[in-house]
Amino acid sequence: NKAALDGRGIETTIPYTVGPDGAFTVEAPGFEGARVIDDKGKKGDANKRVIDALASAWALIARGRLKHQYPHSWRSKKPVIFRNTPQWFISMQDGDADGLRAKALKAIDETRFVPKAGQTRLRAMIENRPDWVISRQRAWGVPICVFVHKKSQEVIPNAAFNGAAQLIQRIGDAFAAEGADAWFADGARERFLDGLVTDPDEWEKIDDILDVWFESGSTHRFVLETRPDLKWPADVYLEGTDQHRGWFHSSLLESAGTRGRAPYDTVVTHGFTMDEDGRKMSKSLGNITAPQDVIKQYGADILRLWVVLTDYADDQRIGPQIIKSTVDAYRKLRNTLRWMLGSLHHFREEERVELKDMPELERYVLHRLAELDELVRTGYRDFDYKRISTALFNFATIDLSAFYFDIRKDALYCDPRSSVTRRAALTVLDEVFSCLTAWLAPIICFTMEDVWRSRYGDDVSSVHLRHFPEVPASWVDQALGDKWTQVRRLRRVVTGALEVERREKRIGSSLEAAPDVYVTDGGLMAAMEGVDLPEIAITSAAGLIEGEAPAGAFVLEDVPGVAVVPGLAKGRKCARSWKILPDIGADPDYPDLSARDAAAVRELDAAGSAG
């Protein structure tokens, strides 16, 4: 700081050697008026005059021309120079426990940052930043509305100035009627100071403008505090990582200085969008993926799904192949929802089954819903959209489509309408539908509205006006969840063995198989108690044998203790369920059906006759 430098004998007064016209000032003795840049932005005579003076004083050791990069104006394409000029600062008030730096650091500690690294980054910047320079010299902008006395250097308005309130009111009224240009209009000094000071000519009107970052840092004031439908502070500020130095930073300082706290409760930071190879997008590389093009070709939900499937805390990648993968994921989700819509089409409330009467498999799916409910709610609170979307995608495609739906298709399609298993499955599907449509609505909003209205019609309110369903605590059954995790491990070995049989063309459908499953793992064997192995394996029959398997049995390295010996089902093929069973034709009225299917058809026939 100045005191420390002065104490070491270091001169801290910096001369302003170049004026706004690009010419040397009186603080460059002997060169006053020499032009560094002329009025047209071209190189002036200053270089030559300085070199000539050095040569005349025998102080020039060498001279030459160097080719190097040089700053140019982005608008005029002319070379520019950097010059030091008097500026307006807001002091960080170092050493003051109630100063701006201390207030800002305290506000950072009271703010939630996602990801957490953003807090460390912003804190380091505030700890080490100099005083805040808020002025700029431009031809247009929001002016710093102050006057400086030409002799005493007093700045008004200030707390001691008797006419401060009236001066501020005059300026405010003029800006409200005419905009900020009122400050730059001819006669503005006299207009604002008349009657408030003895002689307006003794005062200089400052035409410096506010730095745009000060303006953006003030948005919380004129956006949130002036609208009755909004509140201050903001729940969330969302921007890229560069805004720790920009908007997050200036908003924090402005608010901490005027209101004693941050203008936001949470700061969420995201990375930048790159192409598929991690390169910055540019027209010259031809690697730009425009959002409007993605929306036009695939719909807005594809773009929204891509956003949540990426780790926004890091730089995100996008391109044709990545979008294609997103489309594939979307179609799998949509197929899951379409299948549920079809299955639930004729579901009636009177078919609902109580939890205590449900088979284990249904109670397991409800347990998984309860687990997801906690994950989804926590994920939305934490802005962890990738975790939410990944979990819901895996649930829809792996837990539901590849596991639960596969197993329950037989009961839904072939069981009697009165079957508890069938009705329990429909009850669970109804609960899954209710949860998934609510959880996915913030992500693929158009699809969820379409799915919701496809089931309930246009007479119901929007899916987006729903609250998340309340999941009963009774659905949570950790012991059952652990058991079925083991069951699914065993099932994976059976499925792997059947895939080999299918690939070798020894079977066409898994219903042609009747494998024997050998288990030496006591935990897995215990988990299978009460589980219908042919049902979960989707085979016509299956044997569960505790003991070592014969040589050559199918195994998976990551599921030790389980081995499968394939076999073919015995009996005839049911014309309705396609299962191969020994009881086909047991009911003489239905010679081509199994006993279960015959009972189902008889119930349907009876219902048709009654109707």
Question: Model confidence over 82-110: pLDDT tens digits?
Answer: 888 889 999 998 888 899 999 999 999 99
At 13, is the pLDDT very low, low, confident or very high (cuts 50, 70, 90)? confident
Which 3 state secondary structure label does DSSP give 300? helix
If asked whether residues 334 and 466 sit together in one domain, one would say yes
If asked whether residues 39 and 74 sit together in one domain, one would say yes
Helices (H) and strands (E) in the chain, counts: 22, 17
For residue 402, give the CATH number of its domain. Answer: 1.10.730.20
Q: Is the pLDDT of residue 32 over 60?
A: yes
Q: Mean pLDDT, the chain, as a whole number?
A: 94
In a domain, 423, yes or no: yes
- Cα distances (angstroms) measured from residue 326 to each of 303, 323, 436, 474: 8, 5, 19, 36
If asked whether residues 394 and 521 sit together in one domain, one would say no
Question: Model confidence over 136-168: pLDDT tens digits?
Answer: 988 789 999 999 999 999 999 998 899 999 999
Q: Is the pLDDT of residue 571 over 70?
A: yes
* Whole-number Å distance between alpha carbons of 94 and 101: 7
Q: Which residue has the higher pLDDT, 211 or 9?
A: 211
State which of 425, 456, 476 marks the end of a domain.
476
CA atoms within a 13 Å half-sphere pointing along the CA-CB vector of 505: 0
Q: Is the pLDDT of residue 441 over 70?
A: yes
In a domain, 522, yes or no: yes
Range of the domain at 27: 1-84
For residue 548, give the CATH number of its domain. Answer: 3.30.2320.20
Q: Is the pLDDT of residue 498 over 90?
A: yes
Quote the pTM value.
Answer: 0.84
DSSP designation for 516: E
Q: Is the pLDDT of residue 608 over 80?
A: no
* Whole-number Å distance between alpha carbons of 534 and 407: 10
If asked whether residues 516 and 548 sit together in one domain, one would say yes
8 A C-beta contact, residue 358 and residue 424: yes
* Whole-number Å distance between alpha carbons of 334 and 340: 10
For the segment 243-249, the average pLDDT, to the nearest whole number, is: 96
If asked whether residues 407 and 436 sit together in one domain, one would say yes
If asked whether residues 465 and 518 sit together in one domain, one would say no
If asked whether residues 472 and 603 sit together in one domain, one would say no
If asked whether residues 438 and 529 sit together in one domain, one would say no
- Cα distances (angstroms) measured from residue 150 to each of 77, 156, 193, 203, 236: 37, 12, 14, 6, 45
In a domain, 290, yes or no: no
State which of 69, 84, 99 marks the end of a domain.
84
For the segment 538-562, the average pLDDT, to the nearest whole number, is: 97
8 A C-beta contact, residue 313 and residue 451: no
Count the domains in the chain: 4
CA atoms within a 13 Å half-sphere pointing along the CA-CB vector of 198: 2
DSSP track, 524-564: HHHHTTT--HHHHHTSS--EEEESPPPTT-B--TTSTTEEE
Q: Which of 221, 237, 242 is nearest to 111 (CA)?
A: 237
* Whole-number Å distance between alpha carbons of 116 and 571: 63
If asked whether residues 584 and 447 sit together in one domain, one would say no
